[in-house]
Chain A
């Protein structure tokens, strides 16, 4: 085992790690942002509809 480690040192794969977590962050945050945008749009619609309903009496 030790000989194998000495012969094959741990590869430098930090760039893969960074790319991987950037993708994870983009997908995760992207979904959260779509939730927030939809929520804000619905709230705006709701306020407008409430106003219209009040105006209609």
Chain B
């Protein structure tokens, strides 16, 4: 498929159906990283003594949590950039990043209860950390739903930019704020915490290496998904533009 130039579009762009070589390479590399991260999580890292195999959930659970937070941070940057420049491309980066971040945080929120069922005897508790994470997830799910309710593209973009910046407060509370709360039973896997969580575990060198590799892998997972999602948004714009053009001719 040859390149097609769409002129006069809010997202004037040159796109082809086939992904660029760099994206293909990144996608393959990320898939290999995921395989390597799985090897490190299941075989390289030793079995944690008090929890057994279930502790291995943490490698992907925490990795996805990190990448989710990174995605929401990218939305903040894109939001600020949009408010300054008014460029549609920044809006696309912002909402694409929210969608990918939401998928990553869903991985964290869905896998955590499996570990909790063993460690705490119940899958969910209204602990400050878990509650904050649930509020964060709901905030960003609401972002996507509320955006859909706005028809005017510029208003939608302005709303998205401002909401994306404000909603980041929920990320700060979830990842940083709860570290100052002693009344949480959620273990702090990375960094200092005031709490003594139920299910804390020490980081043996191999556990630490696997965790660091997982962080790196999920960073690539985020970057790859974001790039694909941005391309999808540009494709959506092209379809909308063609539809509008055809309708104006017919009308």
**Which A residues lie at the B interface, using CB under 8 A?**
5, 8, 10-14, 16-17, 19-21, 23-24, 27-28, 31-32, 35, 38-39, 42-43, 45-46, 49-50, 52-53, 56
Q: How far is the CA of A31 from the CA of B117 in the complex (A)?
A: 25
Given contacts A24-B107, A49-B243, A49-B246, 11 further A-B contacts (CB under 8 A): A10-B51, A11-B52, A13-B118, A20-B115, A21-B57, A21-B111, A24-B61, A24-B64, A35-B229, A42-B236, A45-B239
* Residues of B close to A45: CB separation below 8 A: 239
Binary interface profile of B, 227-244, with partner A (CB < 8 Å = 1, else 0)?
011011001101100110
CB interface residues, B 5-31, toward A, < 8 Å: 17
Distance between A45 CB and nearest chain B CB, rounded to angstroms? 5
Distance between B13 CB and nearest chain A CB, rounded to angstroms? 13
* Residues of B close to A13: CB separation below 8 A: 51-55, 118
Q: Top 7 nearest A-B pairs by Cβ distance?
A: A13-B54, A13-B52, A20-B114, A20-B57, A16-B54, A31-B103, A49-B242
Q: How far is the CA of A43 from the CA of B15 in the complex (A)?
A: 12
* Residues of B close to A49: CB separation below 8 A: 239, 242-243, 246
* A16 contact from B60, B106, B115, Cβ within 8 A: B115
12 A-B pairs, CB-CB below 8 angstroms? A11-B52, A13-B54, A16-B57, A20-B54, A20-B57, A20-B61, A20-B111, A20-B114, A31-B225, A35-B225, A39-B235, A49-B243
Q: How far is the CA of A19 from the CA of B247 in the complex (A)?
A: 50
* Residues of A close to B111: CB separation below 8 A: 20-21, 23-24
B190 proximal to A (CB < 8 A): no
Q: Are B47 and A19 in contact (CB under 8 A)?
A: no
Distance between B234 CB and nearest chain A CB, rounded to angstroms? 10
Residue of A nearest to B58 (CB): A20
Q: Are B103 and A27 in contact (CB under 8 A)?
A: yes
B129 proximal to A (CB < 8 A): no
Query: Binding site of A, secondary structure by majority: helix, strand, loop or mixed?
Result: helix
Residue of A nearest to B237 (CB): A42
* Residues of A close to B117: CB separation below 8 A: 16
Q: How far is the CA of A39 from the CA of B17 in the complex (A)?
A: 10
Q: How far is the CA of A43 from the CA of B92 in the complex (A)?
A: 18
Residue of B nearest to A14 (CB): B53
Residue of A nearest to B64 (CB): A24
* Residues of A close to B52: CB separation below 8 A: 10-14
B56 proximal to A (CB < 8 A): yes
B49 proximal to A (CB < 8 A): yes
Q: Are A5 and B246 in contact (CB under 8 A)?
A: no
Q: Are B56 and A17 in contact (CB under 8 A)?
A: yes
Q: Are A16 and B114 in contact (CB under 8 A)?
A: yes
* Residues of A close to B56: CB separation below 8 A: 17
Q: How far is the CA of A49 from the CA of B246 in the complex (A)?
A: 8
